[in-house]
A and B are shown apart, each in its own frame.
Chain A
Amino acid sequence: MQQRLESSAAGRIAISVFLLFTIFSLVVWNLPSSEIKRRSLKVVRPYITLTSLDQNWGVFSPDPRRISIDIEARVRSADGSERTIRVPRGNDLYGAYWDYRWWKWAEWIRQDSQNQLWKPAALWFARRAASEGANPTEVVLVRRWYDLLPPGPGPSRGPWHEAPFYTLKLTPAEEEGAG
């Protein structure tokens, strides 16, 4: 079918329109925030969303993070014991090809603007603890981080900091679900 389309003049015009609009959309999508982008997105966004061409090439930009982060869940059980569950991490050789998604999630979840992710995360950690034999009643999510200092002489990093940012006391129904 594509070959038939390509061999006719009308088909080539149709393909040209598709190509022009696709490239226009890609250029607009990748423009920095500006009035021209804001206006053009009204035309472009439906197409980009439908085709899933939404893209973001801002890797390490405008600046790489200047902190190292970690998230941990402190899960208290009915018997008063506490266990700490961390974000899953694979080995450096091939584990790095699946665990990076967990660390992307960790980048999001530590932000106050993403608080809609906190309760599901706490429940998931509770289920993890239950699968290890615990009887969870409370989950505290803790963000941990240290500052990266500028390169050059002197220490390269600061000390670890930590701050609890969400506490979930499990309801009986949630406790049952976790178990």
Chain B
Amino acid sequence: MIRAADAWNRFWFQPVETSTFVLFRLAFGVLAVGYTISLAPALFAFYSDDGILPAQPNYSGTLAWGLLGWFPSDAAVLLFYFLLLIGAMALLVGLQTRIAALVFFVCLISFGRRNPWVLNSGDLLVQVLAFYMLFMPAGLAVSVDRWLKDQRGLWDFPARLIWPLRLVQVQVSILYVAAVWAKVRGVTWNDGTAVSYAFRIEDIARFPVPGFVTDSLVLANLLTFGTLAVELSIGILVWNRVLRPWVLLLGVGLHLGIDYAVRVGFFSYAVLVAYVAFVPPETARAIILGMRDRFTRITLPGWAPLARRSEE
């Protein structure tokens, strides 16, 4: 019993430096800004009374909530959109990070609840990650919050408990195991033709996939069974320290391939953001400091390098 409690504590409550939290915030911030911008072209078509769904679905008897159900007007759509955008940008730069995460989450869910018929799995994953973001101490470094409090400590990463990152890690594992479980009940995932069909659905096709890939039964089999193998590997082997980088690398390849061929919106990028939760703190620190060093070497025309200017 005591050993189980120790293992539980080690897994969830181990202190780690916050570099991975910060890297997650930066990645999620970029995703959040891009996602918010992508809502603009159809904002009123999807969410206003004159759009394709004149009112929020009736959620009575459930605990589903959404601000646009309570404030159904074009002005509210515009207001919550700008709040969503401000929340996303504030998250990215780490300004009032906790409040920004809350504002982004509340507005994001409100849009999702207002019109669920335009959401795909990627939209749902962005919502889920926004929920986990609420618990992350991600504004403690490389943020406006930290800069305002202690400029010298901007690039220091104080230690915090790992559990919010663990939640994302468990979510990733569940995602893949559930995806494989759902697929193996199908016919085409078993006869090895599923990927050929998926690549040929014209309405959701993106960049062209050569005919020899989709028409060849052997290649279709390899891609179909390969997808299942990669997804199952990530779901299970991601918990093995040695194999983790390799299965995640395979996952990166898989999702970039999907993003190339299929209109899946933000699904691939949301998954890649979730992978950041697995980046070891020392690697996350090296990535962030590497980005800082590259940024400070940038020379704008007529300006001294940013690094020299900051030294002056």
Q: Assuming the A-B contacts A61-B185, A152-B217, are A100 and B45 also in contact, with contact meaning beta carbons closer than 8 angstroms in the complex?
A: no
Q: Assuming the A-B contacts A100-B265, A102-B42, A124-B51, are A61 and B170 also in contact, with contact meaning beta carbons closer than 8 angstroms in the complex?
A: no
Are B214 and A156 in touch, CB under 8 angstroms?
yes
Q: Which residues of B contact A88 (CB under 8 A)?
A: 41-42, 45
**Of B34, B135, B201, which is in contact with the most chain A CB atoms at under 10 Å from its CB?**
B201
Across the A-B interface, how many residue pairs have beta carbons closer than 8 Å? Answer: 192
Q: Assuming the A-B contacts A88-B42, A102-B42, are A150 and B193 also in contact, with contact meaning beta carbons closer than 8 angstroms in the complex?
A: yes
Q: Is B296 an interface residue (CB 8 A)?
A: no
Q: How far is the CA of A51 from the CA of B120 in the complex (A)?
A: 18
Q: Which residues of B contact A22 (CB under 8 A)?
A: 167
Are A100 and B189 in touch, CB under 8 angstroms?
no
Q: Is A6 an interface residue (CB 8 A)?
A: yes
Q: Is A108 an interface residue (CB 8 A)?
A: yes
Q: Is A63 an interface residue (CB 8 A)?
A: yes
Q: Which residues of A contact B123 (CB under 8 A)?
A: 101
Q: Is B50 an interface residue (CB 8 A)?
A: yes
Q: How far is the CB of A14 from chain B (nearest CB, A)?
A: 12
Q: Is B256 an interface residue (CB 8 A)?
A: no
Q: Assuming the A-B contacts A105-B117, A157-B200, are A51 and B131 also in contact, with contact meaning beta carbons closer than 8 angstroms in the complex?
A: yes
Are A57 and B52 in touch, CB under 8 angstroms?
no
Q: Is A142 an interface residue (CB 8 A)?
A: no
Q: Which residues of A contact B125 (CB under 8 A)?
A: 55
Q: Which residues of B contact A10 (CB under 8 A)?
A: none
Q: Which residues of B contact A108 (CB under 8 A)?
A: 117
Q: Which residues of B contact A43 (CB under 8 A)?
A: none
Q: How far is the CA of A19 from the CA of B131 in the complex (A)?
A: 13
Of residues 45 through 94 on chain A, the ones whose CB sits less than 8 Å from some CB of chain B are 45-46, 49-70, 88, 90, 92
Q: How far is the CB of A105 from chain B (nearest CB, A)?
A: 5
**Of A49, A70, A101, which is in contact with the most chain B CB atoms at under 10 Å from its CB?**
A101
Are A96 and B263 in touch, CB under 8 angstroms?
yes
Q: How far is the CA of A12 from the CA of B108 in the complex (A)?
A: 29
Q: Is B187 an interface residue (CB 8 A)?
A: yes
Are A59 and B171 in touch, CB under 8 angstroms?
no
Are A52 and B118 in touch, CB under 8 angstroms?
no
**Total chain A interface residues with beta-carbon distance under 8 A:** 66
Are A52 and B200 in touch, CB under 8 angstroms?
no
Q: How far is the CB of B258 from chain A (nearest CB, A)?
A: 9
Q: How far is the CA of A64 from the CA of B128 in the complex (A)?
A: 24
Q: How far is the CA of A117 from the CA of B124 in the complex (A)?
A: 21
Q: Is B186 an interface residue (CB 8 A)?
A: yes
- Chain B interface, >50% SS class: helix
Are A26 and B170 in touch, CB under 8 angstroms?
yes
- Chain A interface, >50% SS class: helix
Of residues 99 through 134 on chain B, the ones whose CB sits less than 8 Å from some CB of chain A are 109, 112-113, 117-121, 123-125, 127-128, 131
Q: How far is the CB of B32 from chain A (nearest CB, A)?
A: 13
Q: How far is the CB of A51 from chain B (nearest CB, A)?
A: 6
Are B206 and A96 in touch, CB under 8 angstroms?
yes
Q: How far is the CB of B110 from chain A (nearest CB, A)?
A: 10
Q: Which residues of B contact A50 (CB under 8 A)?
A: 63-65
Q: Is B197 an interface residue (CB 8 A)?
A: yes
Q: Assuming the A-B contacts A16-B8, A124-B51, A151-B196, are A61 and B189 also in contact, with contact meaning beta carbons closer than 8 angstroms in the complex?
A: yes
Q: Which residues of A contact B135 (CB under 8 A)?
A: 2
Report A122-159 CB contacts with B as 1/0, cut-off 8 Å: 00100100000000000000000000101111001100
Q: Is B89 an interface residue (CB 8 A)?
A: no
Q: How far is the CB of A177 from chain B (nearest CB, A)?
A: 8
Are A124 and B179 in touch, CB under 8 angstroms?
no
Chain A residues packing against B (C-beta within 8 Å): 2-3, 6, 12, 15-16, 19, 22-23, 26-27, 30, 32, 45-46, 49-70, 88, 90, 92, 96-106, 108-109, 114, 117, 120-121, 124, 127, 148, 150-153, 156-157
- Identify 20 residue pairs between A and B in the complex whose beta-carbon atoms are under 8 Å apart, listed by A's number: A2-B135, A6-B160, A50-B65, A52-B128, A53-B131, A58-B178, A59-B179, A63-B189, A63-B194, A64-B197, A65-B197, A88-B45, A92-B207, A96-B265, A97-B38, A101-B42, A101-B119, A102-B118, A104-B120, A150-B196
Knowing that A120-B51, A156-B215 touch, tell me 5 more A-B residue pairs with CB under 8 angstroms.
Answer: A49-B63, A51-B131, A97-B38, A100-B264, A101-B120
